[in-house]
Amino acid sequence: MNHNSTPESAITERRLQPGSGSEQRWLATMLRRLEIHCEQRVFAADIQLFKVSLHHIFLSTSKLYQDILPRVTTTIQSMHLPVRGSEELKRKRKIWSNLLVGQRQLERLATLFQLLNSAINGMIDSLDATADTSHVREEQGISPGSERFQSPPESRWQPEIQEQWRRAFAIVSTHIKSWKSYRGTLSTYAFHLQSMPPGLDRLDSLFRELLESTCAIYGDILADFQAVLAEDDEMVMTLLLDMMQKADQAIFTIDALMEPLQALIAHHALKQEMN
């Protein structure tokens, strides 16, 4: 044994420190039980795609609600302030540019949600194919008392491990709280346009719907994986299907957002051409 090695708990604690560049480890911590459940039953590529999709959806959602949309809102709120001609053009161009960035971020999110659903489909198919655990045991020569087919030993879920999970969930909760602090004003701004493109009055509500679906994945469904037992296929299937449903809702909402958002982008592009 290497007595100079750092204890696992200390390593994990550093990994979960926000702002340390290692915050991404929260996902592995929260999915620990799911990975044990899927061990040797689900293709590693599907598990990896599942984790990568969840991680990048999380990052993209943070970028959208903590950076891009607040920047658009700040610029829009300054529209009532009087400025001279050249400054007015710069302000309109800035709104157009930020809206375009928002559109691209939504397109990225839609692709990531589709990848997540693809991974979930693969995981469900594999779990279905290996649902007969007695057959799996017999083929692999694993006895019914084997550790792999039992609930995780309590030593693997000691208070230290539970504390790591709580730290990971605290990171998620902090981000969700920050996402929800965004208060949209795009619809309010749209009412002041002389010719309001159709659907603009729903922009804020659609962004809230997208956020609700995403928060349900990270704040509710992902947290429920902590209660998964080693052989509880029914619970795992239910949670995966719930996640897929929320991802489908997110994709549907993004599709609904695209038309009015593109109309608003076109409106500002036209204004720039006229100037």
**Tens-digit pLDDT profile for residues 102-130:** 999 999 999 999 999 999 999 999 998 88
H-state helical runs in the chain:
8-15, 26-30, 32-38, 44-63, 69-77, 85-129, 133-140, 159-180, 186-190, 203-215, 222-224, 233-274
129-133, 185-189, 209-213, 247-251: range with lowest mean pLDDT: 185-189
Q: Is 256 contained in some domain?
A: yes
Provide the residue range defining the domain that includes 63: 24-274
Q: Is 38 contained in some domain?
A: yes
The sign of the dihedral angle between the CA atoms of 241, 245, 247, 251 is: positive
Q: How many CB atoms lie within 10 A of CB 213?
A: 19
**Is 58 or 91 the better-scoring residue by pLDDT?**
58
DSSP state of 23: G
The reported pTM is 0.78
Q: Is 123 contained in some domain?
A: yes
For residue 4, pLDDT over 90 is answered with: no
Q: Is 207 contained in some domain?
A: yes
Q: Is 5 contained in some domain?
A: no
Listed residue (143, 133, 135, 119) closest to 233, CA to CA: 133
Total domain count, the chain: 1
Quickly state the pLDDT bin for 258 (edges 50, 70, 90).
very high
Q: Is 8 contained in some domain?
A: no
Q: Is 9 contained in some domain?
A: no
Residue 46 sits at the vertex; the CA angle it makes with 27 and 222, to the nearest 5 degrees, is 35
Q: Is 6 contained in some domain?
A: no
